[in-house]
């Protein structure tokens, strides 16, 4: 079923626009089967960053939301006046979570090789846990910046090498 880009944008805009007016919110199970022929698992709007995340059940729905050449999602971004729209497939997210949980399990099970939790291992574990719990709206850069701020504020001598590196940045 081939639909016009403008019609698809209009239907998606009408379905999503109400949550943008409410600030940071999310809606689940948006059924657009009658209008567009697909459903949307979740829509998450972050009012702080003015970013929108659309989670489709699987890759075919993800492709339908994006549209040929990104036209649908591009025009939708303009219509909703958001900074960015990220479209992801729920099935892909589940695979990423599974892989991160496996990595966490391996790290936890390798204490005899790695020794006790060193700062880098602890940071990796914390980052993995944070990413698993916030899979749809995780920003590596903001987490990295928070870690740098904490490191800059930390006055202990054991971090003198990192402090020197940070000053060079």
Domains of the chain: 5-88 (3.30.300.20)
Nearest to 30 by CA among 7, 11, 4, 47: 11
Place of tokens 């589940």: 94
Greater confidence, 126 or 10? 10
Name the pTM for this structure: 0.71
* Structure confidence at residue 157 (pLDDT): 47
Confidence class for position 57, pLDDT limits 50, 70, 90: very high
Q: Provide mean pLDDT across the span 141-145.
A: 57
Length of the chain counted residue by residue: 169
Say if residues 22 and 1 touch (Cβ distance below 8 Å).
no
The Cα–Cα gap between 80 and 20 comes to 8
What is the percent of the chain where pLDDT is above 70?
75
What's the gap between Cα 156 and its chain centre? 33
pLDDT at 130 over 50: yes
| Sequence-separated contacts (24+) of 20-29 with Cβ below 8 Å | 20/45, 20/52, 20/80, 20/82, 23/47, 24/48
**Residue 46 tokens, joined:** 């972050």
């Amino acid at each position: 079923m081939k639909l016009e880009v403008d019609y698809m944008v209009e239907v998606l805009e009408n379905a999503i626009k109400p949550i943008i007016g409410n600030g940071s919110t999310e809606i689940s199970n948006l059924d657009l089967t009658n209008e567009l022929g697909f459903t949307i698992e979740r829509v998450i709007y972050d009012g702080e960053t003015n970013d929108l995340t659309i989670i489709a059940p699987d890759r075919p729905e993800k492709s339908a939301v994006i549209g040929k050449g990104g036209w649908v999602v591009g025009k939708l971004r303009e219509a909703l006046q958001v900074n960015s729209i990220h479209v992801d497939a729920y099935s892909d997210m589940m695979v990423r979570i599974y892989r991160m949980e496996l990595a966490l399990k391996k790290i936890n099970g390798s204490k005899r090789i790695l020794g006790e939790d060193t700062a880098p291992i602890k940071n990796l574990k914390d980052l993995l846990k944070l990413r698993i719990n916030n899979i749809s709206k995780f920003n590596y850069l903001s987490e990295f910046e928070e870690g740098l701020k904490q490191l800059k504020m930390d006055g202990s001598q054991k971090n003198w090498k990192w402090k020197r590196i940070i000053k060079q940045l």
